[in-house]
Every structure is written in C-alpha cells, then in structure tokens.
Amino acid sequence: MFGWVFTSASALLLWGVSVSAAQSPDRSSATPSDIIITAQSLVFKNLENAAIFEGKVILTKGEFVMYADQMVVHFEGGPPGTTPKVGKGGAPSARPVTPDLPTFGNRAVSLIDATGNVVMEQGKKKAKSKKALYYQRDEKLVLTGDPEVWEQGYRVTGAKMTMLLKEDRSIVEGSRVVINDMEPGPR
C-alpha cells in the first residue's frame, strides 16, 4: 500500500549550521545515497556517539525529505567514554565500520530519531507524526504520535506505523484506512 525508498550505501553525512528557514538543502552536489541534514544548530556529542540537530531540521536522501523540530543521529561505535585502540606508530586505529552503512568519520549511522512536527515526503506520498525513528541497518521507519500517511486516493492513520523499507511492506497498529479520499493534505 505504501512504502518509502530509503536505501543504504556508503553515504556522506553533511550538515549546515545557521540555515535560514526559507533555505532548502543544496542537493546539486549530492548523490542519491548521501544524507544531507540542515538545521539552525548542531551539537556533536562525541562521547555519546550522537549529533543533535535542532531548529527547522531538514533531512534529504535522494527523493526522500524529512522535516522535524529536532533530529538526533546516533552512531555505531565503541561504548561512550572508551579509549580508542592504538594502531601502528601510536596513532588511534579507526573503529570497524560496516561498509553498507552511511558513515560520519569512522562511525556508521545506526539510528535517526526525529521529534516534533515530523513531516516526510517522497514523490506524491506524504506522512506526518510526532516522532519518527529510522533504523539504518534494518531500513525500518517507525512512526508514532498520531501517524498519518496519504497519497491521492487513500489515507491511512493508526497508533503506530512500521515501514519495512527493504520489503516494501508496512504494519499499522490500530489502523483506519480511507479509500478515495481526495483531500491532498493531513487532517
């Protein structure tokens, strides 16, 4: 019924700080697998393996666009506060990274947690919720907080929506579907 294409490949995580509200992310130099995040502010928490983007946050990956008040990008890696392994010549060795996950430096993106006025678009499909969790490894998107998905001809609401992107399959808990709904926006 609905599905989002959010494929993984080794992506580059980019961000802009102090982006004006009217400015859209510059996709001219991006490849379809790049993740581009723009926000008004960024706090990188190295010991917590996280980056916190706040204020009119926009994430783009190919044709997929997600808007939110805040996004927290969680990275895979050693436990927070651990000492990096020392390689040849006394230099820290890079942490192992799974090659199929987007990376930031030597850390793979594992989870993107979007909260506050979350809106997603891909082509003519649109969705909204209060919270969205994107699990990179499983290519799974979980929407909670009055989630709603619509496209011309149908509208789906529920308590929780889980979109299994690799399988182009969705599970909606507490679902309500309206077919031939001609309203173009959320309710």
Instruction: Read off the pTM.
Output: 0.70
Taking only the tens place, the pLDDT of each residue in 12-64 is 343 322 233 334 555 555 666 678 999 999 999 988 999 999 999 999 988 88
**Any domain includes 185:** no
Taking only the tens place, the pLDDT of each residue in 171-187 is 999 999 999 856 556 66
**Any domain includes 56:** yes
**Any domain includes 89:** no
pLDDT band at 141 (very low <50, low <70, confident <90, very high): very high
pLDDT band at 122 (very low <50, low <70, confident <90, very high): confident
**Any domain includes 155:** yes
**Any domain includes 132:** yes
> What is the C-alpha to C-alpha distance for residues 69 and 83, in angstroms, rounded to an integer?
33
> What is the C-alpha to C-alpha distance for residues 59 and 143, in angstroms, rounded to an integer?
16
- Please count the structural domains in the chain: 1
Find the domain containing 135 and state its range: 13-20+30-77+100-179
Q: What is the CATH number of the domain that holds 159?
A: 2.60.450.10
Residue 66 pairs with which residues in a beta bridge? Answer: 59, 120
**Any domain includes 162:** yes
Q: What is the pLDDT of residue 35?
A: 82
pLDDT score of 128 more than 60: yes
pLDDT score of 157 more than 90: yes
**Any domain includes 86:** no
Q: What is the pLDDT of residue 86?
A: 37
State the amino acid at position 43 in one-letter form. V
**Any domain includes 62:** yes
> What is the C-alpha to C-alpha distance for residues 187 and 185, in angstroms, rounded to an integer?
7
> What is the C-alpha to C-alpha distance for residues 166 and 69, in angstroms, rounded to an integer?
27
Comparing 24-28, 36-40, 121-125, 164-168, the range with the smallest average pLDDT is 24-28
- Among 15, 83, 70, 75, smallest CA distance to 45 is for 75
